[in-house]
Amino acid sequence: MRRGVRIGVDVGRARVGVARCDPDGLLATPIETLARDDGTVRAVLAHAEELDATEFVVGLPLSLSGGDTPSTTDARLFADELAAASDRPVRLVDERLSTVTAHRQLQAGGRRAKGSRSVVDQVAAVIILQNALDSERASGRPPGSVVLRTKDPDSGS
């Protein structure tokens, strides 16, 4: 198991859930839910900087059959932006049903769906990251696929 804090990201159209793990990669915990706007990538990068994170783990919402959806495309674009703006690796990992699982966990804990929207995104980010950590621990290989870094049009690099 590789050492280092990782940042888990659940990308949604309105909100982005952010989570982190401990340096040993044992336990994922929530950080916050961000409103999705032009500053969201910068806010995720700021968390990575503050925590000296080694990589990002972005959930890839595939359809149940494994195909792409509009949300899949959106997550890929967000991951591309993150990769272009950071020297840290960005990994895309399958996150099928993470939001459904997050809703169920919150309901089991007595939280009402109406008041839990922002918390759901954090819980989904925790689930994405924890599944990636567990997968790496079981297989001995880093999870998902690495997003190739492209030039950032704003920086000229």
Helices 98-108 and 117-139, packing angle to 10 deg: 110
Domain presence at residue 150 = no
Per the structure, the count of domains in the chain is: 1
Q: pTM score, two decimals?
A: 0.86
pLDDT of residue 130: 93
The enclosing domain of 35 has a CATH number of: 3.30.420.140
Domain presence at residue 52 = yes
Domain presence at residue 156 = no
pLDDT of residue 106: 61
pLDDT of residue 121: 86
Q: What share of the chain is helix, strand, coil (3-state, %, to 5)?
A: 40, 20, 35
**Cα dihedral sign, 46-85-69-134:** negative
pLDDT of residue 15: 93
Question: Residue 140 has which token pair?
Answer: 């001995």
Domain presence at residue 148 = no
Q: Which residue has the tokens 């969201």?
A: 40
Domain presence at residue 153 = no
Domain presence at residue 157 = no
N- to C-terminal Cα separation, the chain: 32
Domain range for 41 is: 6-143
pLDDT of residue 128: 95
pLDDT of residue 137: 95
| 137 DSSP assignment | H
Domain presence at residue 91 = yes
pLDDT by position in tens, the chain (length 157): 999 999 999 999 999 999 999 999 999 999 999 999 999 999 999 999 999 999 999 999 987 787 888 889 999 999 999 999 999 999 999 886 566 566 566 666 666 655 666 688 888 899 999 999 999 999 999 999 999 887 655 554 4
